[in-house]
Amino acid sequence: MEPLTWFGAYAGFFGSFLAVFATLAVLAGLCSMLLALTDSSPRGSFSLFNGIAVVTLLLVGIGYIYNALSPSLSGGMELAALGKILLGLLALGVFAAMLGVFMKTFFDNPAETMGSLFALMLKLIGLTAVAWLGYTLLFAGAGFRDTLASMDPAALPTGEELAQQKRIATMQGRGILASIFMRFLPVWIALGLLFALSMAYKRKLGLYGKLFDNAIGIFGFFLVMFWVFTALFNGLFDMIATHGPLDQLSGMKNKVPGTPLRDISEGAYPFYLLGGDNLARDVFSRMVTGSVIVVMIAPLATLFAFMVGITLGLPAGYFSGPALRKGSLGMIATGVVFGLATLAALVWGGLANFLMLAVILGMLFVLMFRASLDTVLSFLANLILAFPVILLFYLLVTPEIVETGLPQYMAIVLFIFPIVFAGVLISSRFQTDPGKNRFWLMVVLIPMAVLYAVTINAPDSQINLLGPLDFFNPAPGVLVVFVSVVFVNSPTVFRIVRGLALDIHSRDYVAAAQTRGEGPWYIMLWEILPNARGPLIVDFCLRIGYTTILLGTLGFFGLGLPPESPDWGSTINEGRKLLSIYAHPALPPAFALLTLVLGLNLLADGLREESLKD
Amino acid sequence: MAKIQYDGPILEIDKLSISFFTRLREIPAVMDFSVKVAPGEAVGLVGESGCGKSTVALGVMRDLGKNGHIVGGSIKFKGRDMASMSADELRDIRGNEIAMIYQEPMASLNPAMKIGRQLMEVPMIHEGVSEEEAYNRALEVVTDVKLPDPARMLSSYPHQLSGGQQQRIVIAMALMSKPSLLILDEPTTALDVTVEAAVVELVKDLGKKYGTSMLFISHNLGLVLETCDRICVMYSGEAVERGDIKEVFNNMQHPYTQALFRSIPLPGADKNARPLVAIPGNFPLPHERPKGCNFGPRCDYFEEGRCDQGFVPMAAADETGSHETRCLKFTEIDWKAPLIAAETKTKGEIGEVVLSMQNLKKYYEVAANALFGGGEKRVVKANETLSFEARESETLAIVGESGCGKSTFAKVLMGLETATDGQILLDGQGIGNTPIEKRDTKTVADVQMVFQNPFDTLNPSMTVGRQIIRALEIFDIGNSDAERRERMLKLLDLVKLPRAFADRMPRQLSGGQKQRVGIARAFAGDARIVVADEPVSALDVSVQAAVTDLLMEIQREHKTTLLFISHDLSIVRYLSDRVMVMYLGHVVELGTTDEVFSPPYHPYTEALLSAVPIADTSIEKQHIVLEGDIPSAMNPPSGCPFQTRCRWKSEVPGGLCDSEIPPVKDMGNGHQIKCHLSNEILKKMDPVIKIAAE
């Protein structure tokens, strides 16, 4: 069976157009870049960096086109070919420079003229790509009809075989890219619906609606939602991926993209779209499945980090004066909590742990009578931030440490914050109406407490109090990764929230709330927090991006998640080992990680820009 | 860079139109605006916020940003059309020929650069002089702006100077290159009154000395009267009246100018007999301007079918053509017709003593090192032996500049801080040492506050109705949500806001409307004592009158005791029954309004009265300018707090002012003055404000 080509059956026709446009684009881009350099006027539409970025991008693009057009090279590009391309580009550059000098006599502002020519070429390239995609998708089956016509009617295979052959031929007509496009069809439909609805009602949707006024924001949101939908369809309906993430098929080890399966079982997808990795698993399916892990853990971990950061940052920014006063309720509460913690350490952790904890907490307790809450908490936050993150992770996920239950103890502390947050949020709001207060507290806190209990409880570990009642256990390693990510992220969130609280604290509406006798938590959560939401939302988006990278880093170091996990970091690490021989297993997850983080950053940018308007 | 020699008018703006372009539409900010500035002349540009006066200034500087464009007319500087100048030529003119002084001095100075460097930059860039010469010139200019110890000033950073000193430095910087035109955009709005008076005085003197022309942008009519030769009144992007300053003030020819004057409290206005007249309606948004005369919908003389028919041109209002007005009916209006008071309101009967302060003291301890508690501790004496009484339905004004302790006093009264010493009695019960969380709901609801900044007083992420309902919930008023909502709507009625505002977000409201919501919230629990902390100072003149009247009306109805904190003596004189003047934590004078506003004065009161600009040409003011700044409360002067700036100090024998805090003197009738001056000298004082014989 023929392997898939990148661009399918109609690449030749469109490819020649593409080659012409791309050459012109490179020429115009180089020209305008050089002109803008020589003529230092601010009107030159292309800065040096823009130019370099464009050229690099085109270089990669040309490499791919070259790859696709030359049938002799299946997949990998020879280094010699790259050298030739570079030489060609250099020659083009020299030519462009000469052309630029020549053009100065003809045009008022040749840099701008060339810039617009470049932009025009980019548009033409885009149009050609769309035309190619449309044509390929529409006429992919045409080749099979010819084959069918030429076949001997007597020797026609059975209907099922025929259907299978037709399917394979259609796919071959499409090529790899168009086939991948078709695999993502549910995602495209969902994205189309979402964007159409959002655009139609954008005036009524507040900040989210305003995002659709901003090109950067739209693009970022598009990228993010692409992966969210991919994760949803794959995780819930098992739709996008072509094979199982752990399926190993014989003969597919390190095979290049588009390789057909050796023997196609009933209904199985007949190709490895993006090739196979060194254990003969489908790279495309692993990338798609990996998105589920990333899209689930990253936002949730970030949310938890925000809960911790907010719950600690607000009082740090709000209260001035010593953290504890002699005989105050706070002193008693802190004393009890600290005492219980040391006692717990004595019972379960042994003498050494007990002594260590007792000394640390004792010092902290004494310190809190002198220093403000802000000073104490900021000091602790700095302590965590000063510690090398990767080292901390190594420490946390070492099996010996996991066995002592440390991650679980940390989970006990860190996961309590959302409950505290929700509880305080509700009770400060309904403080004047005890009936409502009790009702909402029960509705919200009971499910949260149950979830909390079953999450931190795990069979065969230090904390196993629930026994058979424990109905939910996160996948192995997930809790550890989750706790580490929350632990590392929360100090930064804490500092942001604290700064915002300090700022908003001086507003008159806070003073107004104080003068009508509101409690401190009401002021923090209902007067200060909602007005700090702008920067927090932006930071939330950015931080999901960081967390995604952090997850990637963790996976890359083989920390936390099991080695066969398809998450992007682990797969990049797997692929890295054979990168110089087979580049294709490492690139798709890397590209996926890049687009998601890029999308989150652009989304944050767009949100920031739009929230500043008005 | 040589200066351009030119004899004609320095600046000629002719039919200038400026628009801002947004994604949705074009927003015209300035339309058909013309003004001429002759050499050595000061022209005032007056109008409410949003009328386009700052846009004109930015248009002159060609600094309109990305989406602002000049869509018509021309700006000629020394006879040259600025539109035809290149970017390089404009750069040379800015800072060299035209200098600008902005409102916020701290924002105009680079905080990371020493003052001297910043000043020296100007001639070094524009004239290429040597460093040494630039330094000498900087020294000279800093001496000119009357800063003490110029050499030290040059080697300090902006944050080491006070606001007044910073603004002087900004002025010095503007004068470094001896510009032909100085644009001042609300140069004193951020400063205290006495500092403002000194800065204005300085600008006037320097203008004379350097022969600089000035374009003075301000919302304060009194300030413009004191500084300018000619005036141009703007409304909603247009100049509505233009002319010689005396001519415009005494013989106004446009209904807007007239309405503006009627809405500011001048000496002689009285809250009961002659209340202020607020301009009805709201300032039109730039894209919702009416057809015809922009002021039409708010004008008393509006005539349908005539005033709303199309463009209204500027017309000469006198023979020489120097006084112009943009009104179709100015010849028909009887400008001398006396204002008919809508209704004379009876003053509320002043009742029992509600609140009484006895020797209230509030000290703060500032430790040098928070974590380890080391270092010396310093005591800031924010309030020093405050004693006074406030009665039912009385307005007690508390006057003083920033740092005088009025906000601290308010905090102690509200219970946000506890008093260091002394008593606050509310209905005979001591509350001075009870923090707010220990006060019962009734006490909390009784003492409420109206805040200064309308843009800050409401929580931006909660609807107006929700905020008032929350206050009702906290004060335990109403038994159900429906009942509270009904009461909230009634409160909106009380402050004369439409009920539909309940579901609006604060950002959809104008400044005055927000302030009304703030007042409604304060009165949610039927407050008996309301502390109003400069409730109108951040509002536009025409809105100020309406909000002030509202406060007075609610006071009359509810018999509220109003503690009115303000630095604006005109409004204090207009509405208060008694006045308390504070300086550096001390009450320096206390008495009825008439007593405080007429001699004998405390020397500080005298200076304060003199500093307030009054927009009335018939007023003669004694001219007293205080030297220096208010001392820091961290490091108050020994003896009398005011002795460092007092002009009467030499009249006290034996250097008593330096060594002893003066005793409180009773001048009869409860009029108290805290001063060492003997009664004879106090009695000899001349009144600061005199209404000249007509």
Read off the pLDDT of residues B166-181 as tens digits, 9 standing for 90 and up: 888 888 888 887 888 8
B449 touching A, CB under 8 A?
Answer: yes
Q: What is the CB neighbour count within 10 angstroms for residue A332?
A: 11
| pLDDT of A303 strictly over 90 | yes
Per-residue pLDDT, B408: 83
Per-residue pLDDT, A371: 81
CA–CA min distance A331, chain B (Å): 18
Q: Which of A23-27, A550-554, B554-558, B577-581 has the highest mean pLDDT?
A: B577-581
Residue from A8, A6, A1 nearest A251 by CA: A1
Q: How far apart are the first and last CA of chain B?
A: 52
β-bridge mates for residue B591, sequence order: B579
Does residue A608 or residue B332 have the better pLDDT? Answer: A608
Percent of chain A with pLDDT over 90: 21
B161 touching A, CB under 8 A?
Answer: no
Helices (H), A371-461: 373-386, 389-397, 399-404, 406-429, 434-456
Tell me the torsion sign for CA atoms A204, A205, A206, A211: negative
Per-residue pLDDT, B621: 76
Give A497's Cβ-side CA count (13 Å radius). Answer: 30
Instruction: State the average pLDDT over residues B460-489.
Output: 87
Structure token digits, residue A303: 């949310």
Angle at B328 between CA B326 and CA B333, to 5 degrees: 105
CA–CA min distance A388, chain B (Å): 26
Per-residue pLDDT, A78: 57
Helix (H, G, I), strand (E, B) or coil at B610: helix
Chain centroid to CA A287:
13
**Is residue A7 a contact partner of residue A68, using CB atoms and an 8 Å limit?**
yes
Closest CA in chain B for residue A213 = B23
b/e code B638-654 from CB counts within 10 Å (16+ = b): ebbbbbbbbebbebbee
CB contact under 8 A, A512 and B457: yes
**Residue to substitute from A432, A436, A508, interface B, most B β-carbons within 10 A:** A508
Read off the pLDDT of residues A209-225 as tens digits, 9 standing for 90 and up: 888 888 889 999 999 99
Read off the pLDDT of residues B221-279 as tens digits, 9 standing for 90 and up: 888 888 888 888 888 888 888 888 888 888 888 888 888 888 887 776 666 666 777 77
Per-residue pLDDT, B68: 81
Per-residue pLDDT, A69: 53
Does residue B110 or residue A579 have the better pLDDT? Answer: B110
**Chain B residues inside the 8 Å CB shell of A432:** 473-474, 476
Confidence at A196, pLDDT banded by 50, 70, 90 = very high
Residue ranges of chain A whose CB lies within 8 Å of a chain B CB: 213, 367, 370-372, 375, 432-433, 507-509, 511-519, 526-527, 530-531, 533, 614
Give one DSSP letter per residue of B502-529, joined into a string.
GGS-GGGS-HHHHHHHHHHHHTTT--SE
Confidence at B694, pLDDT banded by 50, 70, 90 = very low
Confidence at A45, pLDDT banded by 50, 70, 90 = very low
Helix (H, G, I), strand (E, B) or coil at B47: coil
Per-residue pLDDT, B4: 63
ipTM above 0.85, yes or no: no
Does residue A108 or residue A14 have the better pLDDT? Answer: A14
Residue from A333, A338, A330, A357 nearest A346 by CA: A357
CB contact under 8 A, B414 and A370: no
Cα separation, B279 vs B586, in Å, equals: 38
CA-to-CA separations, B459 to A530, B236, B517, B518, in angstroms, rounded: 9, 29, 11, 10
Mean pLDDT of chain A: 82
Per-residue pLDDT, A495: 93
Cα separation, A225 vs A208, in Å, equals: 13
Read off the pLDDT of residues A97-139 as tens digits, 9 standing for 90 and up: 777 677 666 666 677 777 888 889 889 999 998 998 998 888 8
Please report the number of interchain residue pairs, chain A to chain B, with beta-carbon separation below 8 angstroms: 72
Structure token digits, residue A282: 């489908």
Instruction: State the average pLDDT over residues A318-328.
Output: 78
Per-residue pLDDT, A293: 87
b/e code B443-478 from CB counts within 10 Å (16+ = b): bbbbbbbbbbbbebbbbebbbbbebbbbbbbbbebb
Cα separation, A24 vs A600, in Å, equals: 33
Largest CA distance in chain A: 99
Per-residue pLDDT, B345: 64
| pLDDT of B87 strictly over 70 | yes
Confidence at B344, pLDDT banded by 50, 70, 90 = low
**Chain B residues inside the 8 Å CB shell of A429:** none
Read off the pLDDT of residues B382-392 as tens digits, 9 standing for 90 and up: 787 788 888 88
Per-residue pLDDT, B376: 64
| pLDDT of A287 strictly over 90 | yes
Instruction: Indicate the pTM of the whole model.
Output: 0.79
Angle at A81 between CA A76 and CA A85, to 5 degrees: 125
According to DSSP, residue B378 is labeled E
**Chain A residues inside the 8 Å CB shell of B412:** none
Cα separation, A613 vs B17, in Å, equals: 25
Confidence at A479, pLDDT banded by 50, 70, 90 = confident
Mean pLDDT of chain B: 81
Read off the pLDDT of residues B264-286 as tens digits, 9 standing for 90 and up: 877 766 666 667 777 777 777 77
Structure token digits, residue B402: 């920033």
Does residue A40 or residue B569 have the better pLDDT? Answer: B569
Per-residue pLDDT, A68: 54
CA-to-CA separations, B420 to B361, B365, B426, in angstroms, rounded: 5, 11, 18
Chain centroid to CA B595:
24
Closest CA in chain A for residue B469 = A432
Confidence at B204, pLDDT banded by 50, 70, 90 = confident
Give one DSSP letter per residue of A189-236, joined into a string.
HHHHHHHHHHHHTGGGSHHHHHGGG-HHHHHHHHHHHHHHHHHHHHHH
Per-residue pLDDT, B347: 67
- Residue A182, judged by CB atoms within 10 A of its CB (0-12, 13-18, 19+), counts as middle
**Is residue B355 a contact partner of residue B527, using CB atoms and an 8 Å limit?**
no
